[in-house]
């Protein structure tokens, strides 16, 4: 009689028995290999302060610490150099992290490194036309992470580049901070970077430190579209450039006054103008010489845009509400909550007496102001008229005052003297509609003795080019701006038109000072991401481009 096991075995075919035997052998061999491997395995961790750390990570942290301390103990560069200050920040950054790496995990870079390097690789789209942040070198270092020293170099170079990128985004391109103006901002960078890393919000947090100026944001938004247009023209042969692209290129280049070709802006006429302006063969077609000139002009316009972005970053602005005078645009912009609320036409200084770039606070609005004539204007323009015409002063509403603001009989002054007024007397013009300051004046402290005011010469606002003043800013519709300021920044509301009609000089001290920025910005971005270029009326751009971007050998 057979037992149950025998019956069980007899029920299986012979092939099944072989397969089961083979599977058993494989299992035993697999277990044998596993135990051999387990017995030869070395624990790659080491215990530090009760914490388990990978041995390779611990070694890397140690190497980072040594290199950071080497930087800390090295001789500093020129006093206040940005390089030296950034090195100090790098040391503080890693000290706060206990020298833990940011960008490298064992033998590879991490996703945050990828985010950062993509941001720096696109620096040209943020107004940095050169590799200010050693992006190329960082890419080379990233190619070989087997070398420990190279890993450390990559780690620290990336952090240095990040801190520099952040500083330049916030304040523009800076080589030396002789005034220590950026000390507090510099010291805040490591904390901002650490927070961005810990919250895994690197790109957004870095870009958030940029100026909150609407002019800066508009220009920055438009720059990528301009770069794409420039590249499209540059890398397309003349025969394949369509009229739409060509028209816009000629407009940005300053050759055409319209971004499209039409009956008032003929393609042949615009090309003919380009050929005439640059002494090219005159055939009114887009050929290789005209194409090269357009590409070169667009390149200069790109640098011009970068320069203006840099100017706006250099500007210190801490509020959302301010007045912004753009000299080359001949405009004053009222900005509320970082949005352009309203614009006014202005007249600015002549090239010989340019309107200065400055920032201040409007403190007073004066209705029916008198005009105390600057001595330079008396000496250079008025004295000859006074000598020729004894009635000139009276006819134009001028009178003489002394340093105590007392009226002096002008007949007692010897106008034939070399300096008849000296340091004792001043010329003042009565408050009236024909007063050189008009009917409203805005006072803001500055070292240039300039202010914002009305003018009796209203017809000048119709001119496209408006450089007529001695440096002050003449404003169209000044009563409207005065009413806005008193409505929004003064506790005691005033009716400006009523005050003007009373024909008495009245001073309104604003309860809250209003920030005013007078700047020289030769291009701007529009809401639809187009770029608008203004005439460089004081011929400053080329010189400043060469100063800010010294690597540009030829414009």
CB atoms within 10 A of CB 4: 7
Q: In angstroms, rounded to a whole number, what is the distance separating the alpha carbons of residues 393 and 397?
A: 6
CB atoms within 10 A of CB 126: 19
Average pLDDT over every residue of 308-316: 93
Q: Are 520 and 359 in contact (CB under 8 A)?
A: no
Rg (CA), the chain: 36
Position 525 pLDDT exceeds 60: yes
Note the pLDDT of residue 187.
84
Note the pLDDT tens digit of each residue in 30-40.
Answer: 655 445 444 44
Q: Are 367 and 500 in contact (CB under 8 A)?
A: yes
Position 243 pLDDT exceeds 70: yes
Q: In angstroms, rounded to a whole number, what is the distance separating the alpha carbons of residues 480 and 169?
A: 36
What pTM, to 2 d.p., does this model score? 0.84
Position 69 pLDDT exceeds 50: yes
How many angstroms separate the Cα of 206 from the Cα of each of 26, 113, 126, 201, 548? 57, 13, 12, 9, 23
Note the pLDDT of residue 316.
80
According to DSSP, the residues that pair with 334 across neighbouring strands are 323, 342
Q: Are 226 and 252 in contact (CB under 8 A)?
A: yes
Residue spans of alpha helices (H) in 50-201? 55-73, 82-96, 111-121, 135-141, 148-171, 183-198
In sign, the C-alpha dihedral spanning 308, 314, 320, 323 is negative
Residue spans of alpha helices (H) in 74-134? 82-96, 111-121
Note the pLDDT of residue 85.
85
Position 43 pLDDT exceeds 90: no
Give the confidence band of 463 by pLDDT, cuts at 50, 70, 90: very high
Note the pLDDT of residue 231.
95
Helix (H, G, I), strand (E, B) or coil at 179: coil
Position 310 pLDDT exceeds 70: yes
How many angstroms separate the Cα of 519 from the Cα of each of 330, 360, 466, 514? 11, 11, 16, 16
Q: In angstroms, rounded to a whole number, what is the distance separating the alpha carbons of residues 360 and 237?
A: 50
Tokens of 406: 């007392």
Q: In angstroms, rounded to a whole number, what is the distance separating the alpha carbons of residues 131 and 175?
A: 15
Give the confidence band of 372 by pLDDT, cuts at 50, 70, 90: very high
Q: Are 486 and 510 in contact (CB under 8 A)?
A: yes
CB atoms within 10 A of CB 447: 8
Average pLDDT over every residue of 308-325: 92
Q: What DSSP element (H or E) covers 443?
A: strand 440-443
Q: In angstroms, rounded to a whole number, what is the distance separating the alpha carbons of residues 80 and 77?
A: 8
Among 176-185, 495-504, 534-543, where is mean pLDDT lowest? Answer: 176-185
Position 325 pLDDT exceeds 80: yes
Q: What DSSP element (H or E) covers 251?
A: helix 243-252
Q: Are 64 and 99 in contact (CB under 8 A)?
A: yes
Average pLDDT over every residue of 71-86: 71
Note the pLDDT tens digit of each residue in 415-435.
Answer: 999 999 999 999 999 988 889
519 against 100, higher pLDDT: 519
Tokens of 231: 């590249």
How many alpha carbons fall within 13 Å on the CB side of residue 64?
29
Query: What are residue 51's phi and psi, to 5 degrees?
Result: -110, 135
Tokens of 200: 């895994």
Nearest Cα to 535, choosing from 331, 329, 358? 329
Q: What DSSP element (H or E) covers 38?
A: helix 14-40
Give the confidence band of 148 by pLDDT, cuts at 50, 70, 90: confident
Task: DSSP letter for 529, please.
Answer: S
Note the pLDDT of residue 78.
55
Note the pLDDT of residue 28.
58
Q: Are 400 and 370 in contact (CB under 8 A)?
A: no
Note the pLDDT of residue 22.
56
Q: Identify each DSSP E strand in 179-267 by its residue range.
A: none
Helix (H, G, I), strand (E, B) or coil at 12: coil
526 against 309, higher pLDDT: 309
Position 459 pLDDT exceeds 50: yes
Average pLDDT over every residue of 270-289: 92
Q: What DSSP element (H or E) covers 16?
A: helix 14-40
Average pLDDT over every residue of 301-307: 96
How many angstroms separate the Cα of 245 from the Cα of each of 77, 238, 250, 301, 302? 48, 11, 9, 16, 16
**CA of residue 467 relative to chain centroid, distance:** 26
Note the pLDDT tens digit of each residue in 215-227.
Answer: 999 999 999 999 9
The rounded percent of the chain whose pLDDT value lies above 90 is 68
As a whole number, the mean pLDDT across the chain is 86
Position 120 pLDDT exceeds 80: yes
Q: In angstroms, rounded to a whole number, what is the distance separating the alpha carbons of residues 84 and 176?
A: 10
């Amino acid at each position: 009689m057979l037992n149950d096991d025998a019956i069980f075995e007899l029920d299986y075919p012979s092939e099944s028995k072989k397969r089961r035997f083979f599977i058993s052998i494989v299992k035993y061999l697999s277990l044998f290999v596993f135990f051999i491997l387990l017995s030869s395995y070395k624990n790659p961790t080491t215990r530090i302060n009760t914490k388990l750390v990978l041995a390779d990570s611990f070694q890397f942290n140690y190497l980072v610490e040594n290199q950071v301390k080497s930087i800390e103990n090295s001789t500093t560069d020129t006093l206040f150099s940005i390089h030296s200050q950034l090195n100090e920040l790098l040391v503080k950054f890693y000290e706060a992290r206990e020298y833990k790496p940011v960008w490298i995990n064992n033998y590879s870079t991490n996703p945050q490194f990828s985010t950062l390097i993509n941001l720096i690789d696109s620096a040209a789209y943020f107004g940095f036309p050169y590799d200010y942040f050693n992006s190329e070198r960082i890419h080379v270092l990233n190619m070989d992470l087997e070398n420990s020293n190279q890993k450390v170099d990559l780690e620290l170079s990336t952090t240095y580049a990040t801190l520099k990128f952040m500083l330049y985004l916030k304040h523009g391109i800076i080589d030396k901070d002789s005034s220590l103006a950026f000390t507090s901002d510099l010291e805040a960078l490591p904390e901002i970077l650490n927070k961005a890393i810990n919250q895994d919000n690197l790109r957004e947090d870095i870009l958030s430190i940029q100026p909150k100026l609407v002019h800066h944001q508009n220009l920055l938004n438009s720059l990528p579209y301009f770069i794409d247009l420039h590249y499209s023209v540059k890398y397309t042969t003349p025969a394949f450039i369509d009229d739409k692209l060509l028209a816009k290129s000629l407009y940005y280049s300053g050759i055409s006054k319209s971004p499209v070709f039409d009956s008032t802006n003929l393609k042949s006429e615009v090309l003919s103008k380009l050929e005439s302006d640059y002494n090219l063969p005159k055939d009114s077609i887009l050929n290789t010489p005209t194409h090269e000139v357009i590409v070169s002009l667009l390149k200069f316009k790109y640098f011009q845009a970068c320069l203006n972005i840099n100017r706006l970053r250099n500007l210190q602005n801490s509020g959302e509400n301010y007045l912004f005078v753009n000299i080359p645009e001949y405009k004053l912009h009222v900005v509320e909550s970082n949005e352009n609320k309203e614009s006014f036409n202005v007249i600015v200084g002549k090239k010989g007496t340019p309107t200065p770039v400055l920032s201040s606070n409007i403190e007073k609005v004066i209705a029916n102001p008198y005009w105390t004539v600057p001595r330079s204007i008396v000496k250079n323009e008025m004295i000859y008229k006074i000598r020729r015409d004894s009635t000139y002063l009276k006819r134009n509403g001028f009178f003489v005052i002394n340093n105590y603001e007392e009226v002096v009989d002008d007949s007692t002054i010897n106008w034939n003297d070399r300096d008849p007024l000296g340091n004792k007397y001043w010329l003042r013009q009565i408050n009236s509609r024909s007063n050189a300051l008009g009917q409203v004046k805005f006072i803001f402290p500055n070292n240039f003795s300039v202010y914002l005011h009305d003018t009796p010469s209203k017809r000048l606002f119709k001119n496209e080019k408006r450089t007529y003043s001695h440096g002050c800013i003449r404003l169209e519709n000044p009563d409207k701006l005065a009413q806005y300021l008193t409505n929004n920044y003064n506790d005691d509301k005033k009716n400006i038109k009523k005050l003007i009609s009373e024909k008495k000089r009245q001073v309104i001290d604003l309860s809250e000072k209003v920030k005013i920025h007078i700047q020289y910005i030769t291009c701007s971005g529009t809401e639809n991401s187009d770029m608008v270029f203004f005439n460089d009326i004081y011929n400053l751009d080329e010189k400043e481009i060469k100063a800010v971007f010294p690597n540009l050998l030829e414009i």
